[in-house]
Amino acid sequence: MLIDLHVHTMISSACSQIDPLNLVDYAARIGLDGVCVTEHEEMEGAEVAHRLGMERGFRVFRGVEVYTEFGDMLVFGLYRPRFPWKMDFSDLLKEVRRAGGVVIPAHPCRSDRDFFDRLGKEKAEYLLSHVDAIEVLNGGNTPEANGAAQAMADKYGLPQVGGSDAHLLMQVGRCVTRFERELETEEELVEEIRAGRCRPFYAHQLREFRCNAPWWRSASKGG
């Protein structure tokens, strides 16, 4: 199952030009099985897209991107209408743990600076010991920045995910996450991420993979 785990819409992200109805139709047309709408600091856009997805038989999972003193965090499984700007990471973590959700650093090595460069060793190791996965493929990052994020996830044994970070419709699906089974709910999404039963891909990698393994798509559909 292919899901773009990081998409913004114009409903709640002023920096995005994506209409949620167009998102649902476009994502289905390019072969995605689902998308996660992760607006900045609020969830209205995710709720709107989720309802539209249900009406059209397409999975839209609800998440949020929260800015903290340690950087942007993708959060799944925690529901509240709004989050404060630059939320204290420890406060966010407590809420996520109470809700049974996951917290994932978004584009952690953007500008070619990782956590250790930006935060120092002590804070970086604290952060990496408390998150549930790392977004290692981000559609807005350079290949070098994504490579550094992958190396960091490998070193710390963390699950790896990918998302487009789309703000324009044409950007949707640039990076995606393949899950080993079909997912219907955010609870299942959280469970699979936490267990590491997922793998990030660039769009071009998927095309190459499918060419070399024509059975892959049907196997993915069957879980």
Window from 17-21, 96-100, 217-221 with minimum mean pLDDT: 217-221
Q: Provide φ and ψ at 188, rounded to 5°.
A: -65, -40
Model-level pTM greater than 0.85? yes
Give the pLDDT band (50/70/90) at residue 55. Answer: very high
Domains and CATH numbers, the chain: 2-221 (3.20.20.140)
The predicted structure's pLDDT at residue 213: 45
Q: What is the pLDDT of residues 63-104, one digit of tens each?
A: 999 999 999 999 999 999 999 999 999 999 999 999 999 999
CA distances from 80 to 64, 84, 187 (A): 10, 11, 16
Full 3-state SS string of the chain: CEEEEEECCCCCCCCCCCCHHHHHHHHHHCCCCEEEEEEECECHHHHHHHHHHHHHCCEEEEEEEEEECCEEEEEECCCCCECCCCECHHHHHHHHHHHCCEEEECCCCHHHCCHHHHHCHHHHHHHHCCCCCEEEEECCCCHHHHHHHHHHHHHHCCCEEEECCECCHHHCCCEEEEECCCCCCHHHHHHHHHHCCEEEEEHHHHHHHHHHCCCHHHHHHCC
The tokens of 181 are what?
Answer: 């089974």
Report which of residues 91 and 208 the model is more confident about.
91
Tell me which residue has tokens 């049974």: 100
The predicted structure's pLDDT at residue 111: 75
First to last CA, the chain: 7
Q: What is the pLDDT of residues 129-180, one digit of tens each?
A: 999 999 999 999 999 999 999 999 999 999 999 999 999 999 999 999 999 9
